[in-house]
Chains A and B, each alone.
Chain A
């Protein structure tokens, strides 16, 4: 197997605490963003999306914030649970349907 690869930043939180995962993008024209969760051995799972005409969107226990001024996205997970442990990554899907991921993601580890 490969021993060198994308270095994933890791966020370690205590069960029950809130988690905040950040993502920076580069294209100011980007207007649709998605957060995915990828557990070990599984495919990326859609969590929540946001369009550029919004700066906040809420789902069940998750909130995505979009700051277009500084080209920054964040995913907030409330009351983090062990089942939230996974790699989280953000992506843009443009009008042509091309998905661009930003970095390799962030590994969230939840301590019981």
Chain B
């Protein structure tokens, strides 16, 4: 079975540029989560969707970050404009249900903003 698929795996860009990260969840999973992982803070939840609808975006750092889920098999996380402090590994995860279910992660996008 295909797991969660993220692209690109690596992104290096200059500050001020727009960055778009992509995620394909596991088929049949109704929940999709975006996380950010840094050495300083560990794993932080940014936003999650249920049936393509954003439910909780309280973890999104600021207005420069936005996320969409136009259909059940695709989501994007966009940063515009990007800043060096956005450098991190961004993970997408999906789960079949909300509570008491394992979340399955993709291999992440390593983002470096110069």
B residues lining the A interface (CB < 8 Å): 4, 31, 33, 38-43, 45, 48, 87, 91, 93, 95, 97-108, 110
For A97, give its contact among B48, B104, B105, B106 (CB under 8 Å).
Answer: B48
- Complex Cα–Cα for A101 and B99 (A): 15
Across-interface contacts of B101 in A (CB, < 8 A): 93, 97
Docked-complex contact A2 and B102, CB < 8 angstroms: no
17 contacts between A and B (CB under 8 A): A2-B38, A4-B39, A5-B39, A32-B99, A34-B103, A41-B107, A43-B107, A93-B99, A93-B102, A93-B103, A95-B99, A96-B98, A97-B95, A97-B97, A97-B101, A99-B33, A99-B103
Docked-complex contact A98 and B40, CB < 8 angstroms: no
Smallest CB–CB gap between B6 and chain A, Å?
8
Main secondary structure of the interface of A (DSSP, over half): loop
Contact flag A6-B40 (CB < 8 Å), given A43-B91, A43-B108, A99-B45: yes
Per-position contact with B for A50-82: 1 when CB-CB < 8 Å, else 0?
A: 010000000000000000000000000000000
Interface size on A, residues (CB 8 A): 26
Contact flag A31-B100 (CB < 8 Å), given A2-B38, A43-B105: yes
Per-position contact with B for A93-112: 1 when CB-CB < 8 Å, else 0?
A: 11111110100100000000
Sample of 10 more A-B contacts, CB < 8 Å, known A4-B39, A43-B105: A5-B38, A6-B39, A34-B102, A36-B105, A41-B110, A44-B43, A51-B100, A95-B99, A97-B97, A97-B101
